[in-house]
Structure 1
Amino acid sequence: MPQHDRTRRKKALRWTAWGALGLVLAGAGGTAYAWQHLNGNIKGTDVDAVLGEDRPGAQHDGAMNILLLGSDSRAGTNGEYGRGVAGARADTAMVLHVDKTHKKASVVSIPRDTMVERPRCATEGGSTTPAAHEAMFNSSYEAGGPACTVKTVEKMSGIRMDHYLEVDFKGFQKLVDELGGVDITTRKAIDDPSSGLDLSAGHHTLKGKQALQLVRTRHGVADGSDLGRIQLQQAFIKALIHRANTVDPLSHPAKAYDLADTATKTISADSGLASTDKLLGLGKDLKGISPEHTDMVTLPVTFDAQDSGRVLPLDKESRKVWSALRHDRPIPESATKGSVADRTDSPVSANS
C-alpha cells in the first residue's frame, strides 16, 4: 500500500476512536446546564452485579478500558433494519483504552463476524445461556445482553472493562436528522439491497435513514465481509464529528438541547457511567486526547476456511494487541501485519 494511502487511512481510523462516544456527545458541547435535566433519559445496567467476581482484575494505575457498542436491536421500530432476525446483535464493538496519563488512547475494533469462545452468561430473566464453542461475537448480545458482550470481550482479552457505552439504531437515525445530515464522498457507487443503500459515486449529504443504511452496509463494498462495513463506519463517524462541531450551543440553545435530549435517549451505559455528570466528565477526559495521540486497529483476523463470511482471530497477533492494552503500552505495528483487516481501504471519505 502506498505511503500516502496508509497515512490517509491511519488518520481516518484515529477519528473513529471517538465514534460511539461522538454519537453520545454530538451537539451537547457547552450545554452542561441542560444535561443536568436529562439523567432520566439514560438507561443503566449494573454490569458488576450481573458478572460477579469471575472477571479479570481492575487496573489501578489510572488507565481505563471502555467497551463501545452499537447495538442492532431487532425489536419494535428497529426491526425494519433486520427483518427475520430475532433478538439483538452487537453490530459494532470497539474497546477504547485510555492510558494512565489520559493523554493517549488505543482503540481495537472487533469484527462482529469473529468466531469466539462465548462464555456462559446470565440473562435478564434470571436464567443462564450456556457457553458456546466458535460462536459469532455479535451473538453474545442476544445471549445475555450487554453484560454478556462485556464478559465475552473480557474472556477474549483478559482485560477488565471498566465501563460500557451503547448506542441504538433508532436514536442514531434521529440524531443525524437533527444535525441536518452528514457530508461524505463515495469513491465509487455503492448498491447494497440488504441495507437498502444505493449511492452514486460523488458527494452526498446523508440524512438519518441513509446514514443508518451506510453504517449497516457490507455486501456492496469490498469483499462483502464485516471488514468492509468497519471501514464505512470509521469514515462516517469522522463525518459525524465534523458536523457536530458546527453546532454552536450558545447561538442555538434550543437545537443544542434537542440534540442532547436525543443523545441521552439514544444511549445505554453501565450504572457507573449512566449519568450526565459522568458522561460529561468522560467527554472532557477524551477531548484532551488529540488524534495524533490515538492509535486504532482492527483485531487481527484471518478468514475462516470453513466459512469465508466469518473471521478467526490470529492468536499470536491478537495476544500482542491485548497485552499492549493490559500493560498500558502502544500496540506494536507487528500485531496487525498479516491480518486481512489491514488489506482494504474505505470506499467512503468524510467531507472536511
Structure 2
Amino acid sequence: MSDQLRPRSHRAQPLTAVARHGRLKKSNPFSTLAKFTSAALAVLLVSGASVAAIAALDVATSVKPSVHLANEKALGDTVQQIASIEGGVNLLLIGSDSRVGQDPAFGGADETGDLNDVTMLLHISQDHKNASVISFPRDMFVPIPECPLPDGGTSDAMSRQKINTTLSYGGMACTVLTVEALTGLSIPFAAEVQFSGVMAMSTAVGGVPVCVAERIEDEYTGIFLDPGVHELQGVDALQFLRTRHGIGDGSDLTRINNQQVFMSSLVRTVKSANTLSDPLKVYSLAKAATGNMTLSSSLNDVGTIASIAMALKDIPLEDIVFVQVPTGGTEGGVIPSQPDFDQMFTAIAADQPLKLSGAMGRGATLDPSAPVVDAAAPVDPAADPAATDPAATDPAADPAADPAAVDPATDPAAGVTLSDRATGQTAGELTCSVGRTLDDQ
C-alpha cells in the first residue's frame, strides 16, 4: 500500500491512451441464483450453521463486477467446486492505493493514481501439501508487455518500468500479464483489494495479533506501537501494513518483512478452531472478501473462493511460506537478482516446495517469547514414532529415508532451498516486527 496519506507523484511515463477498468456487467438473475447456492454450500461446509442460507444470500449479492484475464481457468459448475479445487492454484493478489470509494480520511479520489503498491502471488501445489505467498517489491523495475485496454486497443510495451505502475496502465489484467511474463507462470485467478478491504477482513476475524520487537513510530500513517503484542483490526491493521518509515531501515523491502509478520499471524488466526467454528466469523470473512475486492471473472464466485480455501485448509503452517523475491539494488529502486530469481520460479513451475535459508530481512525477527523445543527433553515413544522405529533414526535401515537417496531434480517433494536474498518466513514461525523510531528517520 502507499506509504503516505498525502498525494505523491510517482507515476511512470504516461501513455497516449488512458487506462480504465472494465465496464460494469448487467445483473443476471441466474448468475445471482448460482452465487447464492454456492455461497450457502460454502458457509454450510465450513460452519455447519442452519442460518447459512440466509447469510449466503447477503454474501452472494455483495459480489462485485469482475475483470477478465487472458489465462482464466474454466471451472464448470460452481456447485460441484465446493470441494477442494482440483490441481494447483496461481492467484495474484493486488493491493491498490486508489482512493475511489474509500473513506475521505485517506484522501480524495483525485489525489492519487491507481498503483499496485502490493503485488503478491499465491501458489498452491498440485497435491495441496504446500503453499507459498511471493511478494514483489513495488519499486522493482520490470518489462511491461502490451496490455489490452478495457475500451479497446492496447497499451504500448515498455522495457523498464516499476511493477507498481501496471495497474494504472491496463488494470488488473495488465498486472497479471506482467507477472506472467516475468515469472513464466500462468495465473488464471486474480483479486484487487483497496484500503476498505484490508480493514474489513482484519475486523471479520476479530483482529490479528501482531508482535512488535522494537517501537514503531510513523508520522505518515499515524501509527505508534510499543513493543509487545497488539490485536489489530480496521484502520489500525491497515496502517500497520502501510507503514514504511516506522519499520526496519525504512525501505519497501523491510515493509514487506513487516507485512509477512501480519500475514503469517492472519493465516494462523483464520486456520484456528476459534475462527472456523464460528459461523459469524466465517460469514463476515466471506462478505468482507466479496464486498471489498474486484475479482477476475474466474474468481468472481463464492463457490470458487471456497474451493481454493479448502485446498489451503489442511496445509500445515510450516508448509505455508511467505517469501520476497530476491532482488538487488539499482538507482531509484531494485531489480530481480539472477540467477536466484529464476531459480525460485523454476521451482514453482515444477511444483517444488520452497525452502527458506533462514533470512527474514531487517524488518522482522523471531519472537523471543515463542516456545522453544528442548532437544534434550525425554521423548514419549507413544508420541514420537522415531523413538521406536529404527528406520526413522537409522538411514541404513530404510534407504528411502537417506537424504542422499533423494534427488531434488527428480523428486518435487524434496523442495528447493532459496538464496538468502529471498527473505521470508513460514506461517508456523512466530515473529515480531522490528520498529524504527522518529529519531532514526
TM-score band w.r.t. shorter chain:
0.7 to 0.9
The structure 2 residue matched to 1:320, chosen from 333, 336, 343, is 343
CA distance in structure 1 between the partners assigned to 2:201 and 2:190 by the alignment: 20
Q: Which consecutive unaligned segments of at least 5 residues does structure 1 have?
A: 1-24, 51-60
Kept after mapping to 2: 8 A contact 1:320/1:331: no
Name the SS for the 2:160 alignment partner.
strand
| Larger RCO of the pair (alpha carbons < 8 Å, separation 6+) | 1
TM-superposition CA deviations, 1:314-338 (whole Å, max 9, x none) = 1211111111112222346587425
Residues 325 and 48 (structure 1 numbering): CA distance in 2 closer, same or farther, change over 3 Å?
same
> CA offsets, 1:275-326, max 9 Å, x none?
111111111111122223333421110111x23xx11101211111111112
* 8 Å Cα contact 1:81-1:195 kept in structure 2: no
CA distance 1:327–1:49, change in 2 (3 Å): closer
Residues 1:269 and 1:246: Cα distance change in structure 2 (over 3 Å): same
Q: CA 1:294–1:236 in structure 2 vs 1: closer, same or farther (change >3 Å)? A: closer
Between the aligned residues of both structures, percent identity stands at 32
Counterpart Cα distance in 2 of 1:237 and 1:135: 28
Partner of 1:46: 68
CA RMSD across the alignment: 3.2
Correspondences of 1:113-128 after superposition (within 5 Å) = 113-128=139-154
Whichever structure has more strand as a proportion of its residues is 1
State the Cα deviation string for residues 29-50 of structure 1 (Å, max 9, x = none): 4266433552232232111389
Matches within 5 A, 1:190-269: 190-244=216-270, 245=272, 247=274, 253-254=279-280, 256-269=282-295
Tell me, yes or no, if the aligned pair for 2:132 and 2:322 is still in contact at 8 Å.
Answer: yes
Q: 1:202 & 1:96 partners in 2: Cα distance?
A: 29
Unpaired segments ≥5 residues, structure 2:
1-41, 73-85, 358-415, 426-430, 436-441
* Higher gyration radius (CA): 2
> What is the deviation of 1:184?
2.1
* Superposition deviation, residue 82 in structure 1: 6.4
SS in structure 1 at match of 2:119: strand
Residue 229 (structure 1) shift = 1.2
Pair 1:248–1:292, CA change in 2 (3 A): closer
1:13 paired residue number: none
CA contact under 8 A between 1:74 and 1:80: conserved in structure 2? no
1:104 deviation in Å?
A: 2.1
Q: More deviation in 121-130 or 282-291? A: 121-130
Aligned residues: 309
* Aligned 8 A contact 2:141 2:335 in 1: yes
Are 1:292 and 2:338 counterparts?
no
* Partner in structure 1 of residue 87 of structure 2: 62
Aligned equivalents of 1:103 and 1:122: distance in 2?
36
> Is the Cα–Cα contact under 8 Å of residues 99 and 105 in structure 1 kept in the other structure?
yes
Does 1:134 pair with 2:160? yes
Alignment partner, residue 99 of structure 2: 74
Determine the structure 1 residue equivalent to 2:419: 337
SS in 2 for 1:311: strand
**Cα distance change of structure 1 residues 204 and 49 upon mapping to structure 2, 3 Å threshold:** closer
1:191–1:82: structure 2 CA closer, same or farther, 3 Å change rule?
farther
Aligned CA distance change for structure 1 residues 204 and 63 (closer, same or farther; 3 Å): closer
Distance, in Å, in 2 between the alignment partners of 1:303 and 1:346 is 25
- 3-state secondary structure, aligned to 2:115: strand
1:146 is displaced (CA, Å) by: 0.8
What SS does structure 1 have at the residue aligned with 2:97? strand
Q: Structure 2-normalised TM-score?
A: 0.62
CA positional deviation for 1:133: 2.8
What is the rounded CA distance, in whole Å, between the counterparts of 2:280 and 2:424 in structure 1? 43
Q: Is the 2:268–2:317 Cα contact (8 Å) retained in structure 1?
A: no
